[in-house]
Structure 1
Amino acid sequence: EGSFVIIDRKSGEKREVSSLTQVAGMLGGVD
């Protein structure tokens, strides 16, 4: 798996995550 960079909408900071599961969790999607 590659890594993904997402932008935190509240703080505007960029975060690098290593899995889509982490992305979904940060966005309040999936447990």
Structure 2
Amino acid sequence: AGATHLVVGRPISQADDPFAAAHAIADEMAKA
């Protein structure tokens, strides 16, 4: 079982490049 939704706020909204930050987080989650 696991979460169906994940909220990631500040790491993306406060990043210099939010698009790149979102992709980096998604890549990390895909590896898990």
Note whether the superposition's TM-score is higher than 0.5: no
Q: Pick the structure with more strand per residue.
A: 1
Normalized against structure 1, the TM-score is what? Answer: 0.38
* Greater radius of gyration (CA): 2
Higher RCO (CA < 8 A, seq sep 6+): 1
Normalized against structure 2, the TM-score is what? Answer: 0.37
Q: Pick the structure with more helix per residue.
A: 2
